[in-house]
A and B are shown apart, each in its own frame.
Chain A
Amino acid sequence: MPERVSVLADQLDATQRVLAKHSIDARAEIQALVLDDAALEEREARRQAMLERMFYLVRKEAAEAAGKETTESYFAALDAIAER
């Protein structure tokens, strides 16, 4: 992940430098940008979705515990299906 973050930061930096060559001061415009509610919601939804993906495995543990899913119950289900 640090590698991807580093690449993204370099890409953003490169974008701003290219825009500056075309007389667009993106850094200043980004600094002055005020996010409206729609933009705030879009960003927050993206962050929450990313966190859900990051914590997918650990959340799966809790979902299995909530569903009382165990190794024994899985094998029992296999046996039951094999017998039918």
Chain B
Amino acid sequence: MLNTFQQQLHAVLPTPTPEEASRQEFAKSLKHFIQQGLLPGLQPVYAGRAAPRFEKEAGRSPKDRHDIRKAMVSDNYFRHYAAVNRISQELLWDSVIDSIEREEDALRAAAAENSAKNRGELRVPENFQVPRYVSALDIHCMPGGYAGDPEDPDGVSLGVLYDRGVYLYSMGYTGPFNDDMGRSVVNYLKRKMPDFKPKRILDLGCTVGHSTLPYKELFPEAEIWGIDVGGPMVRYAHARAGAFGLDVNFAQMNAEETEFEDASFDLVVSHILLHETSGKAMPRVLEECFRVLKPGGLMIHADLPPFDLMDPFTQFILDNETYYNNEPFWGAMRDLDQVAMAKQAGFDPESVRFDTAPMAVMEYAGAGYTEDSAADVAEREFTAGEFAPGGGWEVLIAQKPA
């Protein structure tokens, strides 16, 4: 498949110069090439030379993903793959930063203007404490991270960087509005639970609100809140929602301990949040979901399925994010028993399960999103190391007892 997906620009994204656009396209093309042209070579290299080498030296076969890593780290082919993958990640952020710096004043003004159009609330408290698992390093190598500089109270640049950078990172698989995850979960709800009409919805770790907005589109009467520990993220999210003509509330809050009252939401969701927390924070997030949900309310987390049903080589491939993409909790989170954790938080044991929410990417048209190319993305087999699991997003679902 030739990936020609293009992001839909909006009022709070910069307009790249032709040179910047070419650099950004190259970063996207390189990612595509790595996943289609280099990733498939890892298995034969492992089976053909890395595993035999390990067996000769250790006197036994590699038994788990850690052994496989030991066998592979010294292999030139793997080193090429890992290095180019890392470089592509750094290149993509770098390719976006110039556009943002060039338009920084205009973007700040556009954010203020579009934020004013959003009738939803924006809460950014003073002296907010960003948890260490977010502030300690720049997650997925994004310069500045989610929280940025607390001395820049009006800044939105990191939100812009995330919005554009994540589109390139996902190679457009999340649709022209970056909203495939949220849209896929909403579609799942509409299809599986057509009578479920949530009046109040909370999106945890919403970053720029890209996954939050489909909930407002498809449940227009609902009051929607998106929260994130990154101040630049929620400021930008509020403006971005305004640019799309949607009234959505955003707040800088920690999902472990929100300011919301008990039993006040019908639906609590998150999209690729949990793997960016920590071993201590994750159970606290699930307990907080339980606290703020009304009896009978639903919790849905679209994130990473556990390692337990995957073979060690697949685990090894997926775990590369931990080692080469500043995703410190990526592998450890997949070792946790998420179902048990949800039950422990108080959710109805019978309701806790994993399921698949098929990708919504087929709904888009134009800007490179043809029926064939979207189908190629949505109907892939699962391949570890490719962006997004083929077939759909894995969701952890649980219901608070009525």
CA distance A58 to B4 in the complex (A): 26
Does B351 sit within 8 A of A, measured CB to CB? no
CA distance A68 to B40 in the complex (A): 15
Judged by DSSP, the binding face of B is: helix
Q: Mark B1-37, 1 if CB is under 8 A from A, else 0.
A: 0111010000000000110000001100110110001
CA distance A44 to B29 in the complex (A): 7
Asked if B40 contacts A33 (CB within 8 A), the reply is no
Does A23 sit within 8 A of B, measured CB to CB? no
Does B190 sit within 8 A of A, measured CB to CB? no
CA distance A40 to B25 in the complex (A): 10
Nearest CB of chain A from residue B50's CB, rounded to whole Å: 9
Does A81 sit within 8 A of B, measured CB to CB? no
Q: Name the CB-closest residue of B to A33.
A: B18
Q: Mark B332-353, 1 if CB is under 8 A from A, else 0.
A: 0000000000000000000000
Residues of B in contact (CB 8 Å), total 28
Judged by DSSP, the binding face of A is: helix
Asked if B44 contacts A65 (CB within 8 A), the reply is yes
Given A37-B370, A44-B4: A55 and B48 interface contact (C-beta under 8 Å): no
Extra inter-chain contacts (12) besides given A58-B41, A58-B76, CB under 8 Å: A37-B4, A37-B370, A44-B3, A52-B33, A52-B37, A59-B37, A59-B41, A61-B76, A62-B38, A62-B40, A62-B41, A62-B45
Asked if A31 contacts B48 (CB within 8 A), the reply is no
Does A10 sit within 8 A of B, measured CB to CB? no
Does A6 sit within 8 A of B, measured CB to CB? no
Question: Which residues on A sit within 8 Å (CB–CB) of B80?
Answer: 55, 58
CA distance A68 to B48 in the complex (A): 7
Asked if B41 contacts A40 (CB within 8 A), the reply is no
Does B77 sit within 8 A of A, measured CB to CB? yes
Query: Can you list 12 contacts pairing A with B, beta carbon distance less than 8 Å?
Result: A31-B17, A37-B368, A41-B2, A44-B25, A45-B2, A48-B32, A51-B29, A55-B84, A58-B38, A64-B48, A65-B47, A65-B48
Asked if B44 contacts A66 (CB within 8 A), the reply is yes
CA distance A43 to B47 in the complex (A): 36
Question: Which residues on A sit within 8 Å (CB–CB) of B49?
Answer: 65
Asked if A44 contacts B2 (CB within 8 A), the reply is yes
Asked if B41 contacts A48 (CB within 8 A), the reply is no
Nearest CB of chain A from residue B383's CB, rounded to whole Å: 15
Question: Which residues on A sit within 8 Å (CB–CB) of B29?
Answer: 44, 47-48, 51
CA distance A59 to B41 in the complex (A): 7
Asked if B368 contacts A40 (CB within 8 A), the reply is yes
Asked if B41 contacts A47 (CB within 8 A), the reply is no
Question: Which residues on B sit within 8 Å (CB–CB) of A47?
Answer: 25-26, 29, 33
Does A30 sit within 8 A of B, measured CB to CB? yes
CA distance A63 to B40 in the complex (A): 10
CA distance A63 to B45 in the complex (A): 9
Question: Which residues on A sit within 8 Å (CB–CB) of B4?
Answer: 37, 40-41, 44
Question: Which residues on A sit within 8 Å (CB–CB) of B45?
Answer: 61-62, 65
Question: Which residues on B sit within 8 Å (CB–CB) of A55?
Answer: 33, 37-38, 80, 84
Question: Which residues on B sit within 8 Å (CB–CB) of A37?
Answer: 4, 368, 370
Question: Which residues on B sit within 8 Å (CB–CB) of A62?
Answer: 38, 40-42, 44-45, 77
Asked if B33 contacts A51 (CB within 8 A), the reply is yes
Q: Name the CB-closest residue of B to A45.
A: B2
Question: Which residues on A sit within 8 Å (CB–CB) of B38?
Answer: 55, 58-59, 62
User: Which of A48, A63, A65 is B2 in contact with, Cβ under 8 Å?
Assistant: A48
CA distance A46 to B37 in the complex (A): 15
A 27-84 contacts with B by CB, 8 A: 30-31, 33, 37, 40-41, 43-45, 47-48, 51-52, 55, 58-59, 61-66, 68
Q: Name the CB-closest residue of A to B42.
A: A62
Question: Which residues on B sit within 8 Å (CB–CB) of A33?
Answer: 18
Q: Name the CB-closest residue of A to B368.
A: A40
Counting from the closest, the 6 A-B pairs by CB-CB distance are A62-B41, A65-B48, A66-B44, A40-B4, A65-B44, A47-B29
CA distance A40 to B6 in the complex (A): 9
Q: Which of B17, B40, B44, B370 has the most CB of A within 10 A?
A: B44
CA distance A65 to B42 in the complex (A): 9
CA distance A65 to B51 in the complex (A): 12
Question: Which residues on A sit within 8 Å (CB–CB) of B18?
Answer: 30-31, 33
User: Which of A31, A45, A51, A68 is B30 in contact with, Cβ under 8 Å?
Assistant: A51
Q: Name the CB-closest residue of B to A69.
A: B48
Q: Name the CB-closest residue of A to B47.
A: A65
Q: Name the CB-closest residue of A to B18.
A: A30
